[in-house]
Structure 1
Amino acid sequence: MAETKQSQSYIRADKMDLTSLDLQLEKQYAKSYNKDNKDNKDNKEKAATTTTSSKDQEQDHEDHEERAPWQIDPRKLDIRYLIAHGTYGTVYRGTYHTRDVAVKILDWGEDGYATEAETAQLRASFKHEVAVWHQLHHPNVTNFVGASMGTTDLRLPDNTSTGTGRSTNLPARACCVLVEYLQGGTLKQYLIKNSRRKLPYKLVVQLALDLSRGLSYLHSRKIVHRDVKSENMLLDTQRNLKIADFGVARVEAQNPKDMTGATGTLGYMAPEVLEGKPYNRKCDVYSFGICLWEIYCCDMPYPDLSFADVSSKVVHQNLRPEIPRCCPTAMANIMKKCWDANPEKRPDMEEVVRLLESLDTSKGGGMIPEDQNTGCLCFFRARGP
């Protein structure tokens, strides 16, 4: 019985086909070896993909963490050519994500007048306020695309070469702002173009309404523009007006004493701003009144006065642009209300919108053109102050 079990447990070697067994083992080994290699390769590729994906996710996470919603990716900005030099910076035309944009480089503190501390404070305020601009959406306000707090990654067209080169000569403390690009040019350019034949009354009111609605919206969001003028208003190809250039705009302070300083453009600046007194959003209302006169007359205020004379006479002699006799009374009254010397007597922009909407444009022909001014004294310069 024991012999039977033992015979069942062992196999006689002389009965085995060793050659066939070697071939089978070799095939099995090769198969196993190839499978292990394939599994190892797949695992390595998977591990590499996972690592790369993890790095990409980490980088995206870092970019997301470091970059605010309003911050642009400078690598995707192509600055093409110079448009204009402004008071607070330089404007270029470019593309961002294939979108046409106006690029403004704000070079605060690079003029030698601002201290390090003042520039730092201005940049900190700017950083807070662009977060507010990012949320602005209105048909009469230029769309804010984004901003950058530095210029190290920006490349400007090299105007000294053939145009193919790129310059990196940018102020170290500059900030960059991107807004939509409008092909109609500035309101000032349009008014100069029509200075002889003037604008139809209906178009005057339409442009004024666009501007007033945009300002009313900004004021409702506690934004004071502080540099309202025809040069800072842009037109699209359909002559729709949009407020632009927020280079000196700021969130309105709860305490008017926190908003002081002569900020703006002479000729449009309210008396309280010229005097360095505390001011609020009503300084924009004053500037709007000057712009309204400018739109109606297609002329520039105070063309024959020096800067010093304008500043002194606006404050001390209540100097204002002369309203033409052909100007409808209702329109003239809006101008006068807006540029009242007392900020508290000026209407809010919301009220100005209502006043403009109530104007009858069915009869008015607008300012009388210069070649048709027979019997009208609108174009004769007043003598004296």
Structure 2
Amino acid sequence: MGLLITKLRFLLYAQDQRKNYETFILKVEELHKEVKKEKDLKSVYKMRLERTQDYLKYCLQTAQDNGFLNLILNKKDNAQESSAASLSSPSPSSVIIQASTDPQTPPAVQQNTDLSALIEQAKRNGWYIDPHEIELHKKIAQGSTAEIYQATWRGLDVAVKCIFPDYFNLNDCGVNFFAQEVETLSRQRHSYVLQLMGACLDPPNHGWIITEFLNMTLKDWLHGPGKRKKERVTALPPFEDRLAKALEISQGMQYLHEHKPMIIHRDLKPSNIFLDDAFHVRVADFGHARFLTNEEKAFTGETGTYVYMAPEVIRSEPYDEKCDVYSFGVILNELLTGQYPYIETDHGPSKIALEVGEGKIRPALPKHEENIEDLIELIQLSWDEDPEYRPSFATITRGLKLIYNRLANSP
């Protein structure tokens, strides 16, 4: 009997040890993932630092080649001569900073939208909305700067983007960014661009943007609801319907890029593209949008989502509207394959960013079939490493129309 009890105790002890071991292994695996993620992030930041250093060297060289550096130094010397004699001459580092920022300062692409003028415009054109007119219902989404509610306005179902008060209180440019997003939406008149119903223009507590209510995204339509999965959980929509969505997105983006001044979206992805009740698209979420006049490039900060982000944006280089074309190329490929981008890899977002920025990877293309070779070629052109080789949305729209009509009329 005593031997049996001893054996039972040993078995229980062994089971406990096994559980402890399994728990230990899980913790080790989690730590390994965290370390890998940190290494990926470190690599991304190292790449950005190197790119920034290269850009500063380029700016300094440009300043020297064009005589700007001497001009800056002479201007500095003249200013010092007229100032107190005790002031010291500029340090080499301050000269480098001036040389690398003044001559090459990017154009002011972010319009300075005056809120009071925007309020007058909204009242004059009939889209100024008092907060008491809005009846908020359930929260349907939340981001880092806002919550989105399903709501009712004058009996109509609408979506209300409520900017967090802290966004305005803690961000000196918050009111300007908010006003710009509202003004961007107020100018849009296109079937495939989200329609602004109005806005509550009283930040910080009532910085609200009211749009038509659409409860399905392109992501949900293509992949089904829920989080990203390796295996499909819903049937893939018909090929003709997927191609039609691509054409409508291109038409909406062509409208934005041909706007005066041009509007670049900077965060084009399936979760920012909505579908109406007839399953027609609406390009939405202009929180990252910027205005560009002819021949301008934006001086980039990190925007958008890594999976759909153009390599020049990842590398923190100046960019133009072709960054949206790159994002569209990834979306077009996703529509054709029915697969999430890079689902065939185990890479996290940081690893994807690093390898895209270095020109090493793109999402897996659809299987080559005779009837979609021109579509595959269009995808590859759209996400070309060199923005100059990427087609305009006007060209993409024309091409997709021809392909759609050819496939629709084929036996």
Q: TM-score normalised by the shorter chain: which range applies? A: 0.5 to 0.7
Give the structure 1 partner of residue 217 of structure 2.
Answer: 186
Give the structure 1 partner of residue 132 of structure 2.
Answer: 75
Task: Report whether the alignment pairs 1:343 with 2:381.
Answer: no
Post-superposition Cα deviations, 1:359-381, rounded to whole Å, max 9, x if no partner, equal 1223889xxxxxxxxxxxxxxxx
Q: Is the 8 A contact 1:286 1:346 kept in 2?
A: yes
Task: Report whether the alignment pairs 1:134 with 2:186.
Answer: yes
Post-superposition Cα deviations, 1:326-383, rounded to whole Å, max 9, x if no partner, equal 4511111111111111111111111100010111223889xxxxxxxxxxxxxxxxxx
CA distance in 1, matches of 2:255, 2:152: 27
Give the structure 2 partner of residue 34 of structure 1.
Answer: none
Task: Report whether the alignment pairs 1:250 with 2:290.
Answer: yes
Pairwise mapping of residues 35-46 of structure 1 onto structure 2 (< 5 A)?
Answer: none
Query: Which of 182, 206, 209 is equivalent to 2:244?
Result: 206
Post-superposition Cα deviations, 1:238-296, rounded to whole Å, max 9, x if no partner, equal 21111111222122255645441111011000011111111111111110111111111
CA distance in 2, matches of 1:195, 1:297: 15
CA apart distance, 1:143:
0.7
CA apart distance, 1:64:
6.0
Give the structure 1 partner of residue 375 of structure 2.
Answer: 331
Give the structure 2 partner of residue 168 of structure 1.
Answer: none
Pairwise mapping of residues 115-126 of structure 1 onto structure 2 (< 5 A)?
Answer: 116=170, 119-126=171-178
CA apart distance, 1:67:
4.7
Give the structure 2 partner of residue 270 of structure 1.
Answer: 310
Structure 1 residues 312 and 115, CA gap change in structure 2 (3 angstroms) = farther
Give the structure 1 partner of residue 142 of structure 2.
Answer: 85
RMSD between aligned residues: 2.6
The sequence identity of aligned pairs, in percent, is 32
Unaligned runs of 5+ in 2: 1-118, 225-231
CA distance in 2, matches of 1:66, 1:238: 29
CA distance in 1, matches of 2:400, 2:121: 46
Structure 1 residues 140 and 289, CA gap change in structure 2 (3 angstroms) = same
Pairwise mapping of residues 103-122 of structure 1 onto structure 2 (< 5 A)?
Answer: 103-107=160-164, 110=167, 116=170, 119-122=171-174
Give the structure 2 partner of residue 357 of structure 1.
Answer: 401
Q: Is the 8 A contact 2:122 2:128 kept in 1?
A: no
Query: Which of 188, 193, 197 is equivalent to 2:235?
Result: 197
Post-superposition Cα deviations, 1:128-186, rounded to whole Å, max 9, x if no partner, equal 452342121111011111223335xxxxxxxxxxxxxxxxxxxx477321110124x11
Structure 1 residues 173 and 275, CA gap change in structure 2 (3 angstroms) = farther
Structure 1 residues 281 and 98, CA gap change in structure 2 (3 angstroms) = same
Give the structure 2 partner of residue 310 of structure 1.
Answer: 352
Opposite residue 207 of structure 2, the aligned amino acid is C
Post-superposition Cα deviations, 1:67-120, rounded to whole Å, max 9, x if no partner, equal 56443211111111100123442211111222211111233864xxx995xx33
CA distance in 1, matches of 2:350, 2:174: 28
Alignment length (residue pairs):
277
TM-score norm. by structure 1 comes to 0.66
CA distance in 1, matches of 2:358, 2:402: 33
Structure 1 residues 74 and 68, CA gap change in structure 2 (3 angstroms) = farther
Structure 1 residues 356 and 107, CA gap change in structure 2 (3 angstroms) = same
TM-score norm. by structure 2 comes to 0.62
Q: Is the 8 A contact 1:318 1:341 kept in 2?
A: no
Structure number with the higher helix fraction is: 2
Structure 1 residues 115 and 364, CA gap change in structure 2 (3 angstroms) = farther
Unaligned runs of 5+ in 1: 1-62, 152-171, 366-385
CA distance in 2, matches of 1:262, 1:174: 27
Opposite residue 177 of structure 1, the aligned amino acid is I
Q: Is the 8 A contact 2:333 2:366 kept in 1?
A: no
